[in-house]
């Protein structure tokens, strides 16, 4: 399957490369050509290439798909189920009792609902942490979407043995699925359990990801337990000797940020969730100053409540501006890098970071012919400060167009998926 995209503006996200007018060609799951209109014309004259489809982009923008670097897809069930409640009541009295009853099949269906939403937001890969890794991988495979799962083990569910089993099994499952070492959070895991995960990190020389310093209470608790911040404590176990990173990273000391930099860790920021759950505002400017790469994630739909990278992109810079009392904090291009390149690198998707020959054909087309994208003073700033799901004209994953002009090209139809989600929540009411 070879597809030609022409009359496009192209933002490859390669360092220092400006937007240019040209073409992108895909062959199977890879990009086989990226170049200017002139370069494309030369190549077309030289070769007899048979395209299965030729798409006139009408001046709209091709760029790498967004990487949602922290989510819990199966929590679509609990969207708007228990909002506007104090955090402890929300979690203990509403979320946990329902989650305890959810089956692997439920989570399979609910993950599919999340995939539909990811596609509408131009998200081509997610970093997912949830309860039933195998049924989640099946859901993403069946929908044709790329998913990197991460271990979710804590004292109450899963085990280090399961994490290792999934690490071996899901990394061999399909080109679209992968799995990274991880655990839920310091405060939900015993020291013994954490030591076992750290041993896996050493054994496989692999990075580890976890919820990290999401609330002040979490940090205070760890200091009380171990005399160290969560990051310093986990690092002292050898957890991050092969990299990895933390989700949220709201309450970070200078020493924490130094460890992040030294170990090459990623700070995955989740600004909407951190507001909605009243957690706080992360020190993004401090990460950037220290050279710590920042990626972006939506967190789960029960705490956000939507799976929209445009919201996260606006918030990560707008909140940095108000936190630092500096309207010049965190430039728009830096934000686009967080949402694409940095996310891909955090998730181990080294072939999904930029648009270039040989890279994965995980790509989106953004509609610039909408009032919120006009005038064309600065396209990158338009996307970050003014962009919306409404601008996503197409989402392609592994060379397949899964969403285009508001229509889903997935195997399952949206109405069936919605019906199943409503049936599941009906069982619990």
- Residue 158 or residue 279: which is nearer to a second copy going by CB? 279
Closest CA to 305 of 90, 108, 106: 90
With respect to a second copy, which residue has the nearer C-beta, 120 or 174? 120
Q: Is 279 in the site for a second copy (CB under 8 A)?
A: yes
- Least distance from a second copy to the Cβ atom of residue 320, Å: 9
Q: Which of residues 315-334 bind a second copy (CB under 8 A)?
A: 315, 317-319, 321-322, 324-332
CA distance 152 to 193: 12
Interface region with a second copy, contact rule CB under 8 A, candidates 71-79, 131-139, 187-195, 237-245: 71-79
* Residue 18 interacts with a second copy (CB under 8 A): yes or no: no
Question: How many residues comprise the chain?
Answer: 429
Q: Is 78 a binder of a second copy (CB under 8 A)?
A: yes
Residue 199 beta carbon to a second copy: minimum distance, rounded to whole angstroms: 37
Closer by beta carbon to a second copy, 45 or else 278 = 278
Verify binding: residue 114, a second copy, rule CB under 8 A.
yes
Return d(Cα 399, Cα 64) in angstroms, integer.
12
Q: Cα separations (Å) of 210 from 180, 183, 243, 268, 284? A: 11, 5, 12, 10, 18
5 membership: H or E segment, kind and range? strand 2-10
Q: State yes or no: residue 283 binds a second copy (CB under 8 A).
A: no
DSSP letters for 353-399: SS--TTSB--EEEE--SSGGG-S-S-HHHIIIII--GGGEEEEEETT
The phi and psi torsions of 171 (rounded to 5 degrees) equal -75, -15
Size of the site for a second copy (CB under 8 A): 76
Helix (H) or strand (E) holding 102: none
Query: In whole angstroms, how close is the CB of 291 to a second copy at the nearest point?
Result: 19
d(CA 206, CA 199): 10
CB 294 within 8 A of CB 309: no
Touching a second copy, residues 256-275 (CB under 8 A): 272, 274-275
Rounded to the nearest whole angstrom, what is the least distance from the CB of residue 191 to a second copy in the complex? 30
Give the interface segment with a second copy, choosing from 40-48, 78-86, 164-172, 195-203 (CB under 8 A). 78-86
**Residue numbers 89-108 binding a second copy by CB under 8 A:** 90
CB of 275: closest distance to a second copy in angstroms?
Answer: 4
Angle between helices 133-143 and 160-170 (to 10 degrees): 20
Binding mask 34-53 for a second copy (x = CB under 8 A): --------------------
Mask: binding to a second copy, 363-402, rule CB under 8 A, as x and -?
Answer: ------xxxx-xxxxxx-xx--xxxxxx------------
H or E segment to which residue 3 belongs: strand 2-10
Give the shortest CB-412-to-a second copy separation in angstroms. Answer: 12
Task: Identify the bridge partners of residue 208 per DSSP, sorted by sequence position.
Answer: 181, 244
Smaller CB separation from a second copy, 111 or 342: 111
Q: Interface with a second copy includes 276 (CB under 8 A)?
A: yes
């Amino acid at each position: 399957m070879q597809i030609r995209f022409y009359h496009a503006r192209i933002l490859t996200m390669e360092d220092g490369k400006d937007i240019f007018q040209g073409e992108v060609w895909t062959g199977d799951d890879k990009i086989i050509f990226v170049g200017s209109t002139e370069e494309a014309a030369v190549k077309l004259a030289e070769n007899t290439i048979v395209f299965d489809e030729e798409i006139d982009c009408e001046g709209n923008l091709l760029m790498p798909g967004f990487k949602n670097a922290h989510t819990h897809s199966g929590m679509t069930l609990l969207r708007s189920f228990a909002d506007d409640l104090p955090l402890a009541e929300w979690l203990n009295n509403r979320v946990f009792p329902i989650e305890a009853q959810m089956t692997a099949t439920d989570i399979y269906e609910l993950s599919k609902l999340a995939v539909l939403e990811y596609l509408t937001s131009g998200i081509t890969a997610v970093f997912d942490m949830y309860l039933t890794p195998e049924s989640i991988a099946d859901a993403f495979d069946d929908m044709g979407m790329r998913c990197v799962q991460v271990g979710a083990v804590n004292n109450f569910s899963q085990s280090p043995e399961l994490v290792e089993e999934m690490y071996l099994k899901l990394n061999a499952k399909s080109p679209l699925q992968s799995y990274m070492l991880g655990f839920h959070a310091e405060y939900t895991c015993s020291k013994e359990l954490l030591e076992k995960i750290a041993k896996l990190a050493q054994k496989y020389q692999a990075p580890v990801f976890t919820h990290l310093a999401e609330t002040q209470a979490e940090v205070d608790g760890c200091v009380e337990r171990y005399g160290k911040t969560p990051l310093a404590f986990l690092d002292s176990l050898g957890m991050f000797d092969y990299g990895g990173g933390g989700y949220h990273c709201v309450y970070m000391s200078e020493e924490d940020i130094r460890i992040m930099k030294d170990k090459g860790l990623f700070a995955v920021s989740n600004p909407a969730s951190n507001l909605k759950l009243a957690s706080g505002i992360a020190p993004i400017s401090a990460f950037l100053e220290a050279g710590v790469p920042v990626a972006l994630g939506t967190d789960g739909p029960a705490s956000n409540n939507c799976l929209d990278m445009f919201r996260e992109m606006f918030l990560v810079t707008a909140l940095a501006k108000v936190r630092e009392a500096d309207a010049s904090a965190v430039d728009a291009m830096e934000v686009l890098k967080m949402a694409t390149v940095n996310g891909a690198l955090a998730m181990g998707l080294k072939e999904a970071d930029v648009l270039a020959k040989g890279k994965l054909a995980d790509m989106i087309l953004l509609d610039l012919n909408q009032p919120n994208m006009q005038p064309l003073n600065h396209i990158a700033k338009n996307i970050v400060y003014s962009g919306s799901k409404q601008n996503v004209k197409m989402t392609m994953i592994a060379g397949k167009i899964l969403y285009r002009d508001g229509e889903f090209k997935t195997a399952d139809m949206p109405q069936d998926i919605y019906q199943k989600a409503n049936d599941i929540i009906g069982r619990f009411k």
